[in-house]
Amino acid sequence: MALRTIEPQADSHFLSVEELRVRLRQVGDERYHHRHPFHLLMHEGRLSRGQLQAWALNRYYYQSRIPIKDAIILSRSDDPIFRRAWRKRVLDHDGDVTPEGGIERWLRLAEATGLSRERVIKCNEVLPGVRYSVDAYLDLVRNRSLLEAVGSSLTELFSRELISLRLGALRQFYPWLAGGLDYFEARLDQAPADADFALQYVAEHAHTRAEQELVVQALREKCDILWAQLDALYHAYVQPGWPPPGAFSPEEP
């Protein structure tokens, strides 16, 4: 239900794939959450165990909604070829013959911070601000065009770089987390493959410059959704450090 503002473009020519990629990359440079102060603190080793618990617990809600988001996208395509490609994402997160998927791996990360998986799975200590942001993502993929839904996944264009940086930082500064990093290891390969497919899709299915701009705008809104989750974490657990009534409080600061 978000109001959208499409910025007027100085020119209106149809973008080549390469130009489109540059436009998308530019959105990432400006708005992707690698620039968020919460992540900067994390990567400088300046978060406490309690703050990393809060991050793992809250981001679990995001992780748990990812295969639901992808199932919504699956449900919106009438093309079996698209669906066969896209359903990989559901398997990546839910697991296949074993539950060894992204959600299970994220739970092991949360356990490595010292939380019980039962506590994390309940989701009843998640910050409302995180919940609303994640739900806004489901809203976007449900109510916009399929083109925009796919476009919103393009943050994966930027995630490999962030995850590589993060893996190094987490190993260096939080060695007690070492047993919980499989999630990120797996995403190093999964995310770029997904991003390539999605980029190809939007390049082929945006038939006008206006449609290309809708893709850019969807990516921007997805960046806002990721950013807002970290704003909520920062407000609650870093500075001023006021979790709202009922939200998670770390046992150790």
Binding of a copy of itself by 139 (CB under 8 A): yes
Residue the block writes with tokens 């009534």 = 245
Among 9, 16, 37, 172, binds a copy of itself (CB under 8 A): 37
The yes or no reply on residue 124 touching a copy of itself (CB under 8 A) is yes
Cβ-based nearer residue to a copy of itself, 41 or 193: 41
Q: Does 118 bind a copy of itself (CB under 8 A)?
A: no
Is the CB of 43 or the CB of 187 nearer to a copy of itself?
Answer: 43
Q: How many other β-carbons are positioned within 10 Å of the β-carbon of residue 19?
A: 12
Q: Is 28 in the site for a copy of itself (CB under 8 A)?
A: no
Query: Measured between alpha carbons, how far is residue 56 from residues 27, 59, 196, 250 in Å?
Result: 26, 5, 27, 12
138 binds a copy of itself (CB under 8 A): yes
Contact 35, 230 (CB under 8 A): no
CA angle 215, 140, 208 (to 5 degrees): 25
Single residue of 80, 245, 251, 252 touching a copy of itself by CB under 8 A = 245
- CA-based angle 85:102:81, to the nearest 5? 5
The two tokens of residue 7 are 């910025």
Alpha carbons 86 and 172: distance in angstroms, whole number? 35
Contact between 224 and a copy of itself (CB under 8 A)? yes
| Cα–Cα dist 201/191, whole Å | 15
Among positions 99, 168, 179, 246, the unique one binding a copy of itself when judged by CB under 8 A? 246
**Is 228 a binder of a copy of itself (CB under 8 A)?**
yes
Q: What angle do CA 80, 20, 93 make, to 5 degrees?
A: 45
Nearest-approach distance from CB 26 to a copy of itself, in angstroms: 12
Is 5 near a copy of itself (CB under 8 A)?
A: yes
Establish if 225 lies at the interface with a copy of itself (CB under 8 A).
yes
Residues that bind a copy of itself in the complex, under the rule CB under 8 A:
1-3, 5, 30-31, 37, 61, 122-124, 126-129, 131-133, 135-136, 138-139, 220, 223-225, 227-228, 231-232, 234-236, 239-240, 242, 244-246
